[in-house]
Amino acid sequence: MAEIIGTNNKVLIVDLTTQTTELYKVAEQERLCYLGAKGLGLKLLYDRQEPGADPLGPDNHIAFMPGVLMGTGAPCSGRFFAVTKSPLTGIFAGSSCGGPFGMQLKTAGWDGLVIKGKADKPTYLFLDEEGVQFRDAADLWGMETTAAIEKLDAKRQASVVIGPAGENLVRFANIRSGHRFLGRGGMGAVMGAKNLKAIVAKGGAYKIRPVDSDSFERHKKRATKYINSNDMTGDVYRKYGTAANARMNQEGGILPVNNFRDGKHPDFDLISGQTMAAKYDTSPHTCKPCTIMCGHKGTIRGETRPIPEFETVGLLGSNLGIFDTDAISDWNEICGRLGLDTISSGGTLAWVMEATENGLIDTDLKFGSTDGISQALEDIAYRRGFGDDMANGSRWLSSKYGGTYYAMHVKGLEMAAYDPRGSFGQGLNYAVANRGACHLSAYLSAQEVFFKMLSPQWTMAKAKWVRFFESLTACINSLQTCQFTMYAYLFESPVVKINPTFVLWANMQLAPEAAMPLVDMSLYRGFWSSITGQDISLWNFFKAGDRIHTLERYMNTREGVSRTQDTLPPRMLREGRPCDPKGRPVPLNKMLDSYYKLRGYNRNGIPKPETLIKLGIV
Amino acid sequence: MLPSYYEFHNPVKVVSGKKALENIPYELEQLGVKRPIVVTDKGVVEAGLLKIVLGAFDSSGLTMGALFDETPPDSDVAICNKIAALYRENECDCIIAVGGGSPIDTAKGAGIVLAENAEDLMLYMGAERLTKPIPPLIVVPTTSGTGSEVTYAAVIADRKKGIKMAFTSYLMLPRVAVLDPRMTLTLPAKITAATGMDALTHACEAYYCLQKNPISDAHAMGAIKLISENLLTAVKDPKNEQARMAMANAALLAGAAFSNSMCGMVHSLGHAAGGVCHVPHGLAMSIFLPFGMEYNIDKTGDVIGELLLPLGGADEYAKTPAAQRPYRAVELIRKLRQDLYDACGLPQTLKDAGVPREKLDEIAQAAINDGAHAFNPEEMDLGDATRMLQAAYE
Amino acid sequence: MNSQYPPVPSGKKWFKELVAKITLVVLGRGLAAAANRDPDIRREVSKWPNGFSLMMNIKPGGPRMTVEKVGGRLKYRGAKPDDATLIINFKNVDAAFMQFTAQIGTTRAFAEHRYTVAGDLGYAMSFVRCMDVLMGHLFPGPVNKHLLKRLPPMPLKKQLIRLYIYTIGIPLGR
């Protein structure tokens, strides 16, 4: 078997309209600047796509990008990234997925796959080390994701597929690979609009080897040790999955209940990972390879199904006033089969329920009732009846029917299951996250609520930490590895370990500048250097994160994003919650100004020319 | 909430309703004058409205001193001087202005020339510079929007010098405003819609901008209620006298409200868009109003929320929780705009209004130089204005 | 003459007039100094034509001051000139006093008709913006908080301008 030492640097660019391909060689400097996966994907799109392209038109590109860690066997490296312009938000969106497609793409010798144009009939791509074949997908079109994957996947061969939702251009349709998803931003509709049902990658042609194997093994050993010893990654998530967040969110009062009208619910434990683990007798069901193993499967209604993730039980559960995990699992299955993002589906349904309550629209859906939800999800996927409206997401619905006050989205992307009123840093994160209300952009609720290292309802130092974690996660997503490794790599290092929480709190809250250099990024950098053979200083590594984040921002501002869009749903800005005795809304503007300053944006949220020059973007 | 200090001034006698025009001779008698000059424009004459106005003088024994029907769409200094000369030549003693904003402003301008014996109007530019009242002015509005019949401001261009001059003075106020249903019946749907939105903007801004006061509030509320209930009817059913009358009254109420409590950034943006790209004023108001309200929610959300009562009615107001009201109010205005678009094609974006994107920066610059946003609750700088324009563009 | 009903001459508000007089000097010199240093004010002033003069006058005959733009720079002209391109007329000495002692902001004073503007309103707006920036320099943050709609950021550069205005601009008038 041939070997790739470090990186292959080959990106395949496929034009569906003309059925032609070209090869793009990634330059060493470009890799150092943009790392790979997310960063490189954005850069490829930035170079190729004119502003103003229709997300569902042939000019939109979609890039599938495994990172340098993929295939090396580094812990939690079984993830790949996709970047495109989202039909839900009209701006760029990236999504990370732990499905098997990434590994096959990478071991077929490709460091990236960029698709543009539009096929004139249903097509799927078959990709191996030789290149790509355009195959007729007439018999796959209309198929649910599960059936299509069964047909396409084989040994050393994995696919990304869309379901009926993607084919019907549902604006929050997702893309499936194995049992994992490129969930957010409606990428399924982008593929659907290109008449592209699936992409199959046949890998195994190459073996990926790090340049410096010894150093790589050393880092791998330390990383594994950290992951195993960390509470979150080695215990809570490993045993109970992400749904364990339900307990922590309840405790912190940030669990969304009834379309974010409250932050706590007495029945919260019914949907927690701990309860589900006991109830469904779960076992790991993860990305490959993975060391944390947060994904689980179990026996639900007599069949083996994946256990719903936290965002799913949050948005399709508590946020709809529903705590019946059997039913939530049913909907999770429907969304999976039809290719719908569970977060946006849940967010949209919650809006529909509240708008129904307020008499703006007439549906049978109501909070706390499981009736009609399965039907609604199918109607969305097939755009039947009112589903045709719902398929456009809550922003579109609220601009048509009213109810903007409680349309829980930012820039069109529905909000994930953390209420920012109990976690102000998370609020700033939602407001400024590049793809919309994405919780993972900085994920400050982890620091504020889970680990209590920052005071949730203070604005102090939040802008600094949001910026810090945004850049860090941009790096992590560009390497690419799992974002949860952050808990282990950052908090298991000896410096952090010996300090009690209140010292860390004082340091992070009161002297963020002093705390930031203490954050140990050596594992991420170590993996990068040992695999690629390129040394990267801490400064340059972090700057790459800044660069990637700012590039995405810049691309979005060219599409019309500015301060006006960097906001939160009105409910977050004007309304307190019963669970919060002080009833405080998010003081966003206060944090926004200092955030822009840190990022080198002007007061309107547009990156300043000197910032772009300093980061080498233009 | 009572402001720490405010001023309110509106001594205009309102004569409104069926056959109101026929009372003009009596009003003239009350004012002690008997030889009016009539100022109007060609549009009014062509629509046959002037005939109705003149008909109202039949059997009154009064003589029109002169009839001037050549007012251009933008009032001009030269025209003001011409009218003043006509007035003197024919020994008139009062002015009757029939028409939309332009004839009324022109009449006010001519009034300044007459009152001050002015050679150069420029000397009187600015706020409250007149020293003598203008001759009695009777206004018969033929559109329902500007509220010029009760405002003490006039904008007059000097084409030779290429400038627009703004005049404000309480001494310039008309004495009588005559609202007759016959005057607005022939107004085309699109203009009805645009001028109606203009009045709505006056009222909304008067209600939430800095110099709001209890008296202007009452006027504004009344205006909004009339507009939200009647504008669509007036557009869809042009011959509906009741809706037409309601709109005429609403425009007057809104005019009285905003001329006393001043307007805000929506007007700044509107004036700028009009100045740079000739977007009709009412249309610009319609485009910017929801954005302006949204922009101010942070500062005065509760006050804007109160607008939901006249906009949506008691049921809607009662069922919407307080925090949601301002957003609901904005939604209802957007909905009204959409309905107007469906009914008569009133554009909703700057793009549809024919503004090229390159001009946005120029408009933004002009907007922050416009006086109106001084009274806006939230600060608006150049960047804010640009953002607002971009949001309103598509 | 009936001594039972004598005429009542008006008194004089010495203190307020004095404060207004001093503040007018401070404002005039401050504005002239700031116009040559502060980029925001300079941008506004650059749009004024040469020979443009601005007068702040307190009615009826009251203290006044004028600044004039000569050769691209703003010059303080003191109380001598009696006409200007743009005149800010405070209706009475109390109105001026309230504004000068930071009880109300420039914008609010305008909204409350505390002063009238004679001249082009466009320039008046430009002047109001200059005053807002100047207030930012002259008064400390907590005072400005209720004077201005939005507090301008005060980076080091602006602090230095503030220092300049107080130490050189106002005392030396340049």
The shortest C-alpha distance from B259 to chain A (Å) reads: 30
Closest CA to B286 of B354, B198, B374, B216: B198
Residue A451 CB neighbour total at 10 angstroms: 18
Three-state DSSP state, C39: helix
* B210 min Cα distance to partner chain C (Å): 7
More confident of the two residues B103 and C124: B103
Sign of CA dihedral C125, C131, C132, C133: positive
Contact C121 B126 (CB under 8 A): yes
- Cα distances (angstroms) measured from residue C63 to each of C53, C81, C84, C93: 17, 11, 15, 9
What residues in chain B have their Cβ under 8 A from chain A's Cβ atoms? 297-298, 301, 319-321, 323-324, 327-328, 330-332, 334-335, 381, 383-384, 386-388, 390-391, 394
Mean pLDDT of A104-117: 96
Contacts of B378 (CB under 8 A, 6+ apart): B265, B295, B296, B298, B299, C149, C150
Instruction: For residue A403, list chain B residues with Cβ-Cβ distance below 8 A.
Output: 331
Rounded to 5 degrees, φ, ψ at B66 are: -160, 160
The answer, yes or no, to whether the previous bond of A289 is cis (omega within 30 of 0) is yes
| Per-residue b or e along A329-362, where b marks 16 or more CB atoms closer than 10 Å to that residue's CB | bbbbbbbbbbbbbbbbbbbbbbbbbbbbbbebbe
Which chain B residue has the Cα nearest residue A402?
B331
Q: Report the chain B residue with the minimal C-alpha distance to residue A572.
A: B323
- Which residues have CB under 8 Å from A498's CB, separation 6+? none
DSSP, res C105: -
In B70-89, the residues whose Cβ lies within 8 Å of chain C are none
CA pair distance B31, A354, nearest whole angstrom? 60
| Nearest residue in chain B measured CA to CA from A585 | B323
**CA distance, residue C107 to nearest chain B CA (Å):** 6
pLDDT band at residue C2 under the 50/70/90 scheme? low
What pLDDT does A263 receive? Answer: 94
Q: Which residues of B touch A399 (CB under 8 A)?
A: 334
Residue of B296, B297, B327 to mutate, interface with A, max A Cβ within 10 Å: B327
pLDDT digits (tens, 9 = 90+) for A332-386: 999 999 999 999 999 999 999 999 999 999 999 999 999 999 999 999 999 999 9
Cβ atoms of B24 and B138 within 8 Å: the answer is: yes
Instruction: Say which amino acid occupies A45.
Output: L
Closest CA to C15 of C94, C91, C114, C95: C94
Number of A–B residue contacts, CB under 8 Å: 48
User: Are A570 and B386 in contact (CB < 8 Å)?
Assistant: no
Q: Considering only the beta carbons, identify the residue of B166, B262, B374 that sits closest to C128.
A: B374
Q: What is the pLDDT of residues A393-439, one digit of tens each?
A: 999 999 999 999 999 999 999 999 999 999 999 999 999 999 999 99
Please list every residue in chain A whose beta carbon sits closer than 8 Å to the beta carbon of residue B330.
404
Q: Which residue has the tokens 């982008």?
A: A190
Q: Does B5 touch chain C (CB under 8 A)?
A: yes
Residue C1 has pLDDT above 60, yes or no: no
Residue C33, CA distances (Å) to A15, A189, C107, C160, C173 in order: 63, 60, 22, 13, 7
* Average pLDDT taken over every residue of chain A: 95
State whether residue A589 sits within 8 Å of chain B by CB. Answer: yes
From CA A178, how far away is CA A153, in angstroms rounded? 8
Non-local CB neighbours of B117 within 8 Å, separated by 6+ positions: none
Q: Which two tokens stand for residue B285?
A: 């108001």
pLDDT of residue A129: 93
Which of A594, A219, A186, A232 is CA-nearest to residue A443? A232
The pLDDT of A263-271, averaged and rounded, is 95
Q: From C147, which residue of chain B is nearest by alpha-carbon distance? A: B379
C153 secondary structure, DSSP code:
P
Q: Could you give the CA distance from residue C79 to residue A388 in angstroms, rounded to a whole number?
A: 73
Task: Kindly list the residues from chain B whose CB atom is less than 8 angstroms away from the CB atom of residue C57.
Answer: none
Does residue A42 contact residue A545 with C-beta atoms inside 8 Å? no
What's the pTM? Answer: 0.90
Strand partners, A201: A127, A158
In the block, tokens 């300049």 appear at C164
C-beta atoms surrounding A534 within 10 Å: 16
Contacts of C8 (CB under 8 A, 6+ apart): none
Task: Measure A389 CA to nearest chain B CA, in Å.
Answer: 17
A218 — contact with chain B (CB < 8 Å)? no
Please check whether residue B262 touches C, CB under 8 A: yes
Option in B129, B370, B378 nearest C149 (CB): B378
> CA-CA distance, A257 to A389, in Å (whole number)?
24
**pLDDT digits 0-9 by tens, A161-182:** 999 999 999 999 999 999 999 9
The dihedral formed by the CA atoms of A375, A380, A383 and A388, expressed in degrees to the nearest 10: 110
Contact A403 B331 (CB under 8 A): yes
Return residues 196-215 of B near C (CB < 8 Å). Answer: 210-211
Contacts of B332 in chain A (CB under 8 A): 402
Residues C81-110, mean pLDDT to the nearest whole number: 87
Which residues does chain A have within 8 Å of residue B387's beta carbon, measured at their own beta carbons?
A: 562-564, 604
What's residue C174's pLDDT? 62
Neighboring chains of B (3 or more beta-carbon pairs < 8 A) = A, C
Cβ neighbours of B320 in A, within 8 Å: 358
Does B262 sit within 8 Å of C107, measured CB to CB? no
Q: Provide the shortest C-alpha distance from residue C55 to chain B (in Å).
A: 14
Provide Rg for chain A, Cα atoms. 22
pLDDT in tens, chain B (394 residues): 788 888 899 999 999 999 999 999 999 999 999 999 999 999 999 999 999 999 999 988 899 999 999 999 888 899 999 999 999 999 999 999 999 888 999 999 999 999 998 877 877 887 777 889 999 999 999 998 888 999 988 888 888 877 778 888 889 999 999 999 999 999 999 999 999 999 999 999 999 998 889 999 999 999 999 999 999 999 999 999 999 999 999 999 999 999 888 888 999 999 899 889 989 999 999 999 999 999 999 899 999 999 999 999 999 999 999 999 999 999 999 999 999 999 999 999 999 999 999 999 999 998 988 777 888 888 888 889 999 999 999 8
Contact B387 A358 (CB under 8 A): no
Q: Chain B window 354-393: which residues touch C at a Cβ cutoff of 8 Å?
A: 368-371, 374-375, 377-379
- Nearest Cα neighbor of B196 from B271, B278, B283 is B283
